[in-house]
Structure 1
Amino acid sequence: MVRKLRRLPKIVNRLYKKDEFYHQPGTIPGTIFIHEDSPPPIIFLIDYNQTNFIREQIATPEECIPYLEMESISWVDVQGLGSQDILQRLGHVFELHPLVLEDIVNVPERPKTEDYEDQLLFIARMVVPKEISCGFHSEQVSLILGKNYLLTVQEEPEHDCFEAVRSRIEKNKGIIRKQGADYLAYAVLDAIIDGFFPVLELYGERIEELEEEVIVKPTPQTLQNIYQIRRELLQLRRAIWPQRDAINSLIRDAPDLISEEVRIYLRDCYDHTVQVMDMVETYRELASGLMDVYLSAVSNKMNEIMKVLTVVSTIFIPLTFVAGIYGMNFNTEKSPYNMPELDWYWGYPLCLAVMAAIALGLLFFFWQRGWLQNSVTIKRN
């Protein structure tokens, strides 16, 4: 157990280093690095105004140009970072600063916001619960807000939480098609933040199950599950903590591309971020408390085992004493006091009866004292 606890700092260090990307010293600013396992990009375009709506998949970034020149709102969603050529052409079409393109491609990047006068960059972390196993999928999402467009770039095309936003645009629900691109950026960002709640709900259920398991029947696998939850909650904390600061920066610094009305909506998004942080911190404290409960439960289980062994030993000590006395080799012919019971007709049954009476008497004494009861119980609602 002590050895496993000593390994915890090493596990945390590996967690922080996992999937981290670092430029080589002296690398030119704006250098794009494409990971070998990155999927090829898929580009989707949604263009809308109050009366018209278009949703289609496009093959090249240049197909966005006619829509960018219109008065409608365009949402270009790029899913995948596996093509340097496509990404560079995308940067040319949207006139992205080289540092913006670098932040988009070189993942993972710390969530942040950058104001480039006519463009606003917001980097966020999106999480989606896994459908089969426990845990969650985590990926970086970059939002580039322009005057009449929003460009989003995701790491991979398999998971996202934007379908509700797409459905609202397509079905013209709410005020999203009456607002500008800044409101669309808020809607996407709000969907990213709200995506944390289903994940945290699953962790709440897992922690509740572990609490009962730790008390009733703790096993080494229970300890492994606690470690796993603590590592995953740490990942969630690292994802949501800087996003709170980034959203607060949007509200405080008031970029020109975000209207006063949308800034009010961002305050609600900020409140959701704070709520997510509180839930993450609460679950982390519960997971840490589970570790103490596990150690106490293991110690109590050992005490129960030692109590049973002690009771058994205590019962057999007087029986062994009686058996030892009558196992001594005294000659009854030499003296009438040399164990006269050896010559009794009912001597052996009487000896067994005395030994049984001693054992039952000790059990009754232990029962009256409450020493035979289990000290670890759990109440079920």
Structure 2
Amino acid sequence: MANKKILPIPQVLDVLNPFKVKKQRLMNFNPAIGTAMRQPADCTKITTFNYSPSTLEERAITNVQDVFPYLESSNITWINVDGIRKEDIHAIATCFMIHPLLEEDILSVGQRAKMDEIGEHMFCLLPMMYFNSETSTVEQEQVSILLGKNFVISFQDDPTRDVFDPIREKLRIASSRIRSGSTDYLCYALIDIIVDNYFVVLDKLGERIELMEDLVQHQPTTKTLARINFLKRELLIFKRAISPVRDLVNGFLKSESDLLEDRDTKYFKDVFDHIIQCTELAETYRDTVLNLQEMYHTQLNLKLNEIMKVLAVVTTLMAPLTLIAGIYGMNFQNMPELKSENGYYITLGAMGILLVFMIWLFRKRGWF
């Protein structure tokens, strides 16, 4: 978290506002069935990379039927489908002989990360995580990856963003490892870049946690507690989304499919190590947020103790003065001091001397 940008407290309050995203989180929620609903994309954007160690063909396709000839290509083909529409997915599934169960998984929404082997295909589904800096929320996009003999097809919901640009840049370099690799290496690269982006999201959450530490120390209010709970919820959403990815990668390691080469096993082991680290770091951040809650309550108790201390000192200082004033406020006839010409000034002077003496005594003993 080097070069961290420290925001002033007012900006921190705005950044960590949990109420700004409540409406946005409910936009695609169907109260009748209690689940999120997939909104069909307005259009499907398809990009293809057909490559070998010495050749590369990169295309942007608008008609889904234009990807059908790649089924017979002798080169490796990566087909990336941005925007999920049922008719387009069904056409691709029919051409590439994708099992109907896998087609349903591609069209589904809100599923846990998982890995399946059906027929001649290997399939995995996992979340692509993003961090929205404007609302400080964790957002996720469901990504499906299908591994075939000479092709890899990836399906995404959002055509406006993904994390695959570094892979595209490597594919454009003739000497890159990915150009000389097999289809399972391309599948590994896609999964690896998604998992690596989890650390980017965690870094952003870590920055928010550090900002919250400053906020708890300076402004331990009820709104601060709401923001702590909001941050804890975002961490929980993140951890729940990425935890099943460990089993997904482990499925590739245990698979005996002919689509996976033994020489690429070490790469999937590396991804497995990364997802373990990411999960442990997310758990550490969650514990830190719980500590922030305890710190918040501690700050409130300290503040309350300071208030009670001041009130106790004031009450103690005023008690003798109140006693003297009460004695001379009684309506008895035979009080000799009532006839004294300077009795009023003597009483005030005695009360003042007593007050100064008590303040000196309390300060000497370190009570305030």
Question: What TM-score range do you get, normalising by the shorter chain?
Answer: 0.7 to 0.9
Would the alpha carbon gap of residues 323 and 120 (structure 1) be closer, same or farther in structure 2, given more than 3 Å must change? Answer: same
Give, in whole Å, the separation in 1 of the partners of 2:63 and 2:32.
Answer: 30
Task: Kindly provide the CA deviation profile for residues 309-340 of structure 1, in whole angstroms up to 9, marking residues without a partner as x.
Answer: 11111111111112122223344xx6xxx333
Match of 1:48 among 41, 46, 51: 51
1:55 Cα deviation (Å)?
Answer: 2.1
The equivalent residue for 1:292 is: 294
**Residue 345 (structure 2) pairs with residue 349 (structure 1):** yes
Which structure 1 segments of 5+ residues have no match?
1-14, 25-32, 373-381
The equivalent residue for 1:358 is: 354
Paired letter, 1:90: I
**Residue 260 (structure 2) pairs with residue 258 (structure 1):** yes
The equivalent residue for 2:336 is: 339
Give, in whole Å, the separation in 2 of the partners of 1:198 and 1:103.
Answer: 27
Q: Percent identity?
A: 33
Would the alpha carbon gap of residues 41 and 362 (structure 1) be closer, same or farther in structure 2, given more than 3 Å must change? Answer: farther
The equivalent residue for 1:193 is: 195
Give, in whole Å, the separation in 2 of the partners of 1:239 and 1:53.
Answer: 35
Task: Kindly provide the CA deviation profile for residues 16-45 of structure 1, in whole angstroms up to 9, marking residues without a partner as x.
Answer: xx9699999xxxxxxxx9723645322111
Would the alpha carbon gap of residues 37 and 364 (structure 1) be closer, same or farther in structure 2, given more than 3 Å must change? Answer: farther
Give the length in aligned residue pairs. 341
Give, in whole Å, the separation in 1 of the partners of 2:32 and 2:107.
Answer: 13
The equivalent residue for 1:96 is: 98
Quick check: 2:82–2:157 contact (8 Å CA) kept in 1? Answer: yes
The equivalent residue for 1:10 is: none
Quick check: 1:128–1:161 contact (8 Å CA) kept in 2? Answer: no
3-state SS of 2:244 partner: helix
Q: How much is the aligned-residue C-alpha RMSD, in angstroms? A: 2.5
TM-score by length of 2: 0.86
The equivalent residue for 1:369 is: 365
Which structure 2 segments of 5+ residues have no match?
1-24
The equivalent residue for 2:11 is: none
Quick check: 1:34–1:84 contact (8 Å CA) kept in 2? Answer: no
Match of 1:35 among 15, 27, 38: 38
Paired letter, 1:356: G
TM-score by length of 1: 0.83
Would the alpha carbon gap of residues 173 and 233 (structure 1) be closer, same or farther in structure 2, given more than 3 Å must change? Answer: farther
Give, in whole Å, the separation in 2 of the partners of 1:238 and 1:282.
Answer: 14
1:341 Cα deviation (Å)?
Answer: 6.7
Would the alpha carbon gap of residues 34 and 63 (structure 1) be closer, same or farther in structure 2, given more than 3 Å must change? Answer: farther
Would the alpha carbon gap of residues 137 and 294 (structure 1) be closer, same or farther in structure 2, given more than 3 Å must change? Answer: same
Task: Kindly provide the CA deviation profile for residues 257-310 of structure 1, in whole angstroms up to 9, marking residues without a partner as x.
Answer: 111121110101000000001101101111122222222222222222222111
Task: Kindly provide the CA deviation profile for residues 347-376 of structure 1, in whole angstroms up to 9, marking residues without a partner as x.
Answer: 43332232222222222333333332xxxx
**Residue 70 (structure 2) pairs with residue 62 (structure 1):** no
The aligned runs of 1:192-211 (5 Å cut-off) are 192-211=194-213
